[in-house]
Amino acid sequence: GTTLAHSHEDFLHCLSLRSAKSDSISRVIYTQNNSSYSSILDASIQNYRFATPATPKPSVIVTPRQTSHIQATIYCSKKYGLQIRIRSGGHDVEGLSYVSEVPFVILDLLNFRAVEVDTKNKVAWVESGATIGELYYRIAEKSKTLAFPAGVCHTVGVGGHFSGGGYGMLMRKYGLAADHVIDAHLIDVNGRIIDRKSMGEDLFWAIRGGGGNTFGIVLAWKVKLVSIPAVVTVFTVNRDLEQNATKIVHRWQYIAHKLPDDIFTDVTITKVNSSQEGKKTIQAAFKALFLGGVDKLIPLIQDRFPELGLVKENCIEMSWVESILYFGGVSTKSSDVLLDRDALPKQFFKLKSDYLKEPIPESGFEGIWRTFSEKEAEFSFMMMVAFGGKMDAIPETELPYPHRAGNLYQASYLVGWSKEENAESQKYISWIRRLYSYMATYVSKSPREAYYNYRDLDIGTNNNGYTSYAQASIWGRKDFKNNFNRLVHVKTVVDPENFFKNEQSIPPISPPL
Ligand code: FDA
């Protein structure tokens, strides 16, 4: 309508007034009339569910090159009632970094991606718009024995990933990405640039896992690097139903979380073609990263997990950075691919997560296999990620991420498809919801815990306007357990008007009139 067009013009005018001539803010503003608007918008979208003609689009995209551009965007969005969505790597599973139902602006940090690695002090500063692959690459370029414990897919953005926890193959040895953040630069709702010292320990605690788009815009993070041996060992062992997959997966649940912390394992369940013509079977892929050589790994697994039948031929020795390519599913030997933000295939998908405190009985797995046999499960997987090790040693209240001691493993479920047809998509989404409801018997309860970074709006959402503490606590307790209360407290202090918000951001307590 006209008021919308009006506020949009006023917003652009405001941006130009707020920035000095030397800032050249006009060069980093894209409106729908700009020929690059669509390519900038689509560039980092990972989930095609939110790239359809029906998806709400931003009135303006700002790709700041300096902090004054961000400050101007905050000021003018507030003044003209536009919502801000902050985007770093664009991997938000429900598209919250680039979609909103109300008029909005995207602040895309793609130009804030410097990485500075200091091997002498074993630290790095990394800007939010960098990918974790860029961070890995810059570390490996300088050292063979330093690493960083973050996610597996290298295209994931630092900004969202660190804001929600961030786990990967080094988790059992070192914990989460957020556990290694020691300082940060943040722009708050008033446009102030603050660091750990000036923001204080409460806010510094909240930004390390309490969610993005909530407390301000994190520009950069200072992280501690971790030590790894120059040679690590990886393996993948596939077992299908005819090869005793059910029994072996069942056993894995008792063993994986108790292994020494320099071995990380996960299991991926998929439906595959059976060796019998035209038939399908279930396959469990057991993967591992061991921080050491193959000669130590083989006896360890043969002793602790003989059911797997691991042999030397399953194992490959390599460097840590090569293991990132191996587990990320990149079929190249050159680590240069870590700098490529488009290296991995994209699709339409829905993801959900769970935490397991008790092993699932064999009969329970049989029900899972039955669900996977349904035809909607064509492109789907269930992934089981072993916990224990360092995750058991970090108290639940240390950071907002609460899923620590007592978890045997995290389970996640994904269903994907390659073209958008409404009825078809609904079938896939119904399928994954069916699997999730089947799992209720076996997973954590009261609350049924979920991983914030595997965003799932099925578990609860805020209103777009005023959201009550009670409403937000429905999803908030699942993601943060009792840390939710401290997050609400911090939010109330730093952003009482709830300017930074989305469908799963922490609300302040501010009773409506
Ligand atoms: P994106 O830019 O979409 O941001 C995500 C959220 O954070 C949004 O709400 C956004 O507004 C906010 N945000 C982003 N930058 C911000 C900033 N600078 N300041 C404040 N708020 C900010 N997770 C994991 O732990 N281990 C893994 O191995 C993987 N692997 C993986 C693979 C794939 C293909 C996907 C799609 C996702 C994952 N994830 C994951 C989940 C991932 O950690 C999660 O989606 C992150 O939030 C993504 O961060 P991005 O910056 O890419 O997302």
CB 194 within 8 A of CB 186: yes
Determine the distance separating the centroid of ligand 1 and the alpha carbon of 133, expressed in angstroms. 13
300 C-alpha vs ligand 1 centroid, how far in Å? 35
Pair 419, 198: CB distance under 8 Å: no
**Phi and psi of 167, rounded to 5°?**
-120, 160
Which token pair is 480?
């943060």
Residues 371 and 434 sit within 8 Å (Cβ to Cβ):
yes
Which residues have C-beta within 8 Å of that of residue 54, sequence separation ≥ 6? none
Inter-residue contact 271 to 373 (CB < 8 Å): yes
Cβ atoms of residues 391 and 405 within 8 Å: yes
Residue 209 CA to ligand 1 centre (angstroms): 11
Catalytic residue numbers, as ranges: 454
Tell me how far the alpha carbon of residue 14 lies from the centroid of ligand 1, in angstroms: 30
Residue 149: partners with Cβ closer than 8 Å, 6 or more residues away: 167, 168, 170, 171, 173, 174, 175, 176, 177, 179, 180, 226
How far apart are alpha carbons 404 and 454 in whole angstroms? 17
Beta strands in 331-467 (DSSP E): 348-356, 380-386, 409-417
Say if ligand 1 is within 6 A of residue 153 CB: yes
pLDDT, one tens digit for every residue, the chain (513 residues)? 456 666 788 999 999 988 766 667 889 999 999 999 999 999 999 999 999 999 999 999 999 999 999 999 999 999 999 999 999 999 999 999 999 999 999 999 999 999 999 999 999 999 999 999 999 999 999 999 999 999 999 999 999 999 999 999 999 999 999 999 999 999 999 999 999 999 999 999 999 999 999 999 999 999 999 999 999 999 999 999 999 999 999 999 999 999 999 999 999 999 998 888 788 999 999 999 999 999 999 999 999 999 999 999 999 999 999 999 999 988 777 899 999 998 888 999 999 999 999 999 999 999 999 999 998 888 999 999 999 999 999 999 999 999 999 999 999 999 999 887 777 789 999 999 999 999 999 999 999 999 999 999 999 999 876 789 999 999 999 999 999 999 999 999 999 999 999 999 999 997 543
In the prediction, which pLDDT does 1 show? 46
Q: Cα of 120 to ligand 1 centre, how many Å?
A: 29
Cα 218 to the center of its chain, rounded Å: 16
Ligand 1 within 6 A of 92 CB? yes
Helices in 195-347 by DSSP H: which ranges?
A: 196-207, 245-255, 294-304, 320-328
Say yes or no: CB of residue 91 within 6 Å of ligand 1.
Answer: yes
Nearest CA to ligand 1 atom 22: 212
Distance 127 CA to ligand 1 centre (A): 14
Peptide bond into 447 cis (omega under 30): yes
505 lines ligand 1 (CB under 6 A): no
Q: Which residue from 106, 163, 215, 391 has its CB within 8 A of the most atoms of ligand 1, so it is best to mutate?
A: 163
As a whole number of angstroms, the distance between CA 214 and CA 487 comes to 10
Q: Is the CB of 337 under 6 A from ligand 1?
A: no
ipTM value of the model? 1.00
Angle at CA of residue 34, ends 187 and 159, nearest 5°: 30
The distance of Cα 172 from the centroid of its chain, to the nearest Å, equals 17
- Going edge to edge, which strands form the sheet with 60-62? 29-31, 60-62, 104-108, 83-87
Dist. CA 119–CA 116, nearest whole Å? 10
CA dihedral 72, 156, 498, 492 (to 10 degrees): -120
Ligand 1 contact, 220 CB (< 6 A): no
Kindly state if the Cβ of 411 falls inside 6 Å of ligand 1. no
- Give the residue whose CA is nearest to atom 30 of ligand 1: 153
Nearest-CA residue for atom 36 of ligand 1 = 91
Distance CA 361, CA 439 (A): 12
Gap between the Cα atoms of 139 and 417, Å rounded = 35
* Nearest ligand 1 atom, CA 86: 11
* 89 Cα: distance to centroid of ligand 1 (angstroms): 6
User: Coil, strand or helix: which one is 29?
Assistant: strand
Closest C-alpha residue for ligand 1 atom 34: 153
| 188 Cβ below 6 A of ligand 1 | no
282 lines ligand 1 (CB under 6 A): no
Q: Ligand 1 centroid vs 292 CA: distance in angstroms?
A: 30
pLDDT at 510: 73
Cα four-point dihedral sign 441, 445, 447, 449: negative
88 close to ligand 1 (CB < 6 Angstrom): yes
Element (H, E) at 11: helix 2-18
Residue with CA nearest ligand 1 atom 31: 153
On whether the CB atoms of residues 16 and 26 are closer than 8 A, the answer is yes
Answer yes or no: is the C-beta of 204 below 6 A from any ligand 1 atom.
no
Q: Which two tokens stand for residue 22?
A: 């030397």
Which among 262, 257, 270 has a CA at the least distance from the CA of 305?
A: 257
Predicted local distance difference test score (pLDDT) of residue 513: 39
- From the CA of 505, give the closest atom in ligand 1: 9
- Nearest CA, atom 44, ligand 1: 453
pTM of the predicted protein model:
0.97
